[in-house]
Amino acid sequence: MIEISGVRVVYGPGAPPALDDVTLQIAAGECVALVGPSGSGKTTLLRSLNGTVAIAGGSIHVDNVEVAQLRGRALRRLRTRLAMIAQQHDLVDRLTVVQNVMAGALGRWSTPHALRFLIAPTAAELAEARAALTAVGIPEKLRSRTNELSGGQRQRVAIARALVQHPTAILADEPIASLDPELGEQIVRLLCDLARERNLALLCSLHQVEFARRYFDRVVALVGGRVA
């Protein structure tokens, strides 16, 4: 459950606000599309939700916890519950697909656990990775090298990583921007299906308004930092 009320973000002194009085609620299992022209504040809104961008006014609550007050450990714990998916450049090429997928578990693993996994993953960990890859439709890529994946497969791996995070919400920033329309549609549908199936809140920025209308419960338009 995400509650955004009256949020304002200003990047520098004298700069116009990147977000101005934005109010928005997203319930568990609800799919919300975020549309708007370039520079309208979509990325800024998504990044303020997990505390990467500081807000100058208003409030953001995730599962009834106010984000602005969190620091250090508490902030990390919040981030484990908000899975971020960006454009396709956020996988680590030299790691295997399994390692990229299980990076989603880093938030709940201790440091020794994380290092041990790189050297000797357990059967249970591999099974979890396989389950996540099965959910995104590419179980056969379990043993592949990441740099051998296509653009669409990379996004599926990023979604699998998000699932491994056991999140309460998925925040996706233009996840299909660099894919061709047909592939993009598949990925959007996959995201919405998974969110409904697992009762996750989904906030996804998009440029394709027709996909937004077709697959999402609600479409929110940002223009110049305000909800239009």
Binding stretches for ligand ATP (CB under 6 A): 11, 18, 36, 38-44
- How many Å apart are CA 202 and CA 30, to the nearest integer? 6
Q: How far is the CB of 43 from ligand ATP (least distance, A)?
A: 3
Query: Of these partners, ligand ATP, Mg ion, another protein, none, which one is at the site of residue 77 (CB under 5 to 8 Å by kind)?
Result: another protein
Taking the least distance from each CB to another protein, the nearer of 78 and 191 is 78
Does residue 107 bind another protein (CB under 8 A)?
Answer: yes
- How many Å apart are CA 203 and CA 215, to the nearest integer? 12
* Contact code string over 26-65 relative to another protein, x by CB under 8 A: ------------------------x-x-------------
Which SS3 state, helix, strand or coil, does residue 51 take? coil
Q: How far is the CB of 220 from another protein (least distance, A)?
A: 21
Sheet holding 169-173, edge to edge: 82-85, 169-173, 201-205, 31-35, 218-223, 226-227
DSSP-assigned letters across all residues of 76-119: HHHHHHEEEE-STT-S-TTSBHHHHHHGGGTTTS-HHHHHHHHH
Which SS3 state, helix, strand or coil, does residue 146 take? helix
Which residues are near Mg ion by CB under 5 A? 43
Task: Report the interface residues with another protein, using CB under 8 A.
Answer: 50, 52, 75-80, 82-84, 86-87, 89-95, 99, 103-111, 114-115, 118, 158, 161, 165
